[in-house]
Amino acid sequence: MSSYPNLRLRRTRASAWSRALYRETVLTPADLIWPVFVTEGQGVTEEIGSLPGVSRGSVDVIAARAKEAVALGIPCLALFPNTPGHLRDEDGSEAHNPDNLMCRAIRAIKDACGEDIGVLTDVALDPYTSHGQDGLLDEAGYVVNDATVDALVQQALNQASAGADIVAPSDMMDGRIAAIREGLEETGHANVQLMAYAAKYASAFYGPFRDAVGSGGLLKGDKKTYQMDPANAEEALREVELDLAEGADSVMVKPGLPYLDIVRRVKEMFQVPVFAYQVSGEYAMIEAAAAAGAGDRDALVLETLTAFKRAGASGVLTYHAPLAAKLLG
């Protein structure tokens, strides 16, 4: 009689059909949100040097991408505007313009696709301010909280009126979820979802994104007085608890892969929909690895996205969404 244990875990790995049968985590196109960047013009596509393979698109181009997403089974687009410099000011007032890039893109997507796709909009002032910060500044250059929240409520209501399905405050101001939720309820937008960037860290992985929205060269200082310290985990749980109590329908952890421990802890503690943002720096690293021959792009993309699902994420915002959807399809 063999002395080897009766259970051999390799048995279920021996063939492809068996690996599929025993697979614990399943990734589908329905788990993906595709972030896209909107720019001015007609028929415009602008490559983003620090995000190889990603481009800004004019409103008509973004509407076409929405149709592509529907065909690929991607359920939602996340919109980020590259506001022209002459429309940026200290207060980010263009965020409240009902005909700004974001609002025009929302309407174009809805005209093109109707209810076949969701539209998630970013609520923060950094794409609109001349200083690149997410809020309003006092005389010392400090981002003030309560006045910024008032501006964010106006911004969120502007986007909701244009047809946004999910407004997603990414600013990290205290109390903004309750204020936005109240504003939505009072103005007839009770069915507009609130996805809170609940645990958004002051990360080194955001550089290419800031290039994409045109705020990178404008930023004075950093965002450490309102975005979270990367060393903190317990604080993330406090932030999530507050946002849920204030009316968030779902929460987000950002960045993604370096913070899978936060995704897991949030899911286990609160049992709510938690999303992860595979941010621009993460995307650029995969692209750089693939370009250098250090890894297969397709395999790297699917493995990292599966890791988010395995950690407990309900879905992932990723610039690789169209590629991943094609591979999964």
Residues paired with residue 32 on neighbouring β-strands, in sequence order: 316
Residues 228, 235 contacting (CB under 8 angstroms)? yes
Rounded Cα distance between 224 and 294, Å, is 33
**According to the 3-state scheme, what is the secondary structure of 88-155?**
CECCCHHHHCCCCHHHHHHHHHHHHHHHHCEEEEEECCCCCECCCCCCCECCCCCECCHHHHHHHHHH
* Ligand-binding site membership of 239 (annotated): yes
Q: Of residues 200, 223, 267, 309, which has the active-site annotation?
A: 200
Residues paired with residue 200 on neighbouring β-strands, in sequence order: 254
Q: Of residues 67, 110, 220, 254, which has the active-site annotation?
A: 254
Identify the CA nearest to 73 among candidates 286, 327, 310. Answer: 327
Beta carbons within 10 angstroms of residue 126's beta carbon: 27
224 is catalytic: no
Which alpha helices (DSSP H) does 121-279 contain, by range?
146-162, 176-186, 207-213, 234-245, 260-270
220 is catalytic: no
Rounded Cα distance between 28 and 32, Å, is 8
- Residues within the annotated binding site for Mg(2+)? 239
Residues classed as catalytic: 200, 254
